[in-house]
Amino acid sequence: MESFLQQVVSGLATGGIYAALALALVMIYHSTNHLNFAQGEMAMFSTYISWSLINAGVPYWIAFFATLVIAFAGGVVIERLIIRWVEDAPVLTVVIVFIGLLMIFNSVAGWIYSYDIKVFPSPFPDQPIQIGTLYLGPHDVGAIAVTLIVLAILFLFFRYTSLGLAMRAAAENPESSRLVGIRVGRMLGMGWGLAALIGAVAGMMVAPIVFLDPNMMAGILIYAFAGAMFGGISSPGGAVFGGFFLGVTENLAGSYIPFIGNELKLSVALVIIVVVLLVRPSGIFGKVTVSRV
């Protein structure tokens, strides 16, 4: 039982990271109708920035928040400088731009920091957290807490503030948004900023587990895609659920189904998702938006 709970908790920790990145993907998807393949590399690059800051002697949490600010600004700049010009471009153009961004971030990171694997610190204490006879990894628990806090803040922001509402409106219907006075370009820029910020959180939380290197996010991005599709690419809450679900399933399948082990656990998760999507193409929580003409 204890080991089961431990597996669940560590599944939730990685799941939270998939969930965060899945949410970032959903946000961009809402405004561009495309999956941002560069989301993972943007997160990776942000993580390198915080690594540089920490290495330069900046205390962890200051580096953490400074990175969030830098990531946000970077996201805004990418949208305003590049993405706005391909807003109405054909699908393939957008895909190429996203892949181009991915390759640029990847190679610039490799060029600045080299492809050597680096250790990235965890801000949480080393001692396992003991609850009765249950021992939990401190970084797992901390990462879950950080992701949940970030997700909760975002939820409150989008649900209850007028800026959050304007951002949702701008992503859904730019023309009507302009007609009520929303500065749509700014909102889309902020959307990219927030997505980059969430990605940065995911990067900094996962780096102590997978170590830091320019390709660290490749696998994680696939999970995030899968999680988003599973929960429903049209539903932020669904994507978050999908991410957590995937993390837990992957971990449990890896430990309890003997022939699967570590090597096949990714495949198991993906098989489950394919099956779900065959039955419900819009994902578990994906709402088929009703609109009358």
* Block residue for tokens 């749509």: 184
Considering only 89-97, 149-157, 168-176, 259-267, which stretch makes contact with another protein by CB under 8 A?
168-176
Which of 115, 178, 219, 274 lies at the binding interface for another protein (CB under 8 A)?
178
Min separation Cβ 261 and another protein, Å: 43
160 binds another protein (CB under 8 A): no
Return the range that interacts with another protein (CB under 8 A); candidates 5-13, 74-82, 138-146, 169-177: 169-177
Burial class (CB in 10 A: 0-12, 13-18, 19+), 79: buried
Tell me the C-alpha distance between 244 and 13, whole Å. 8
Which of 278/293 has CB closer to another protein? 293
**Residue at 119: amino acid letter:** V
Among 66, 95, 108, 165, binds another protein (CB under 8 A): 165
How far apart CA 250 and CA 109 sit, in angstroms, is 29
Q: Measured at the alpha carbon of residue 216, what is the angle toward residues 210 and 217, in degrees to the nearest 5? A: 115
Q: Is 27 in the site for another protein (CB under 8 A)?
A: no
Chosen residue from 23, 25, 38, 168 binding another protein by CB under 8 A: 168
Considering only residues 96, 129, 169, 210, which one is a binding residue for another protein as defined by CB under 8 A? Answer: 169
Question: Taking the complex as a whole, how short is the minimal distance between the CB of residue 109 and another protein, in angstroms?
Answer: 36
Applying CB under 8 A, which part among 82-90, 116-124, 175-183, 254-262 lies near another protein? 175-183
Tally of CA atoms within 13 A in the half-sphere of 173 that contains its CB: 8
**Quick check: 251 and 14 in contact, CB under 8 A?**
yes
Based on the shown chain and the rule CB under 8 A, indicate whether residue 88 belongs to the binding site for another protein. no
Residue among 2 and 172 whose Cβ is closer to another protein: 172
Tell me the longest C-alpha to C-alpha distance in the chain. 60
> Least separation, in Å, of the C-beta of 127 and another protein?
46
Separation of alpha carbons 83 and 27, rounded Å: 14
Q: Are 78 and 98 in contact (CB under 8 A)?
A: no
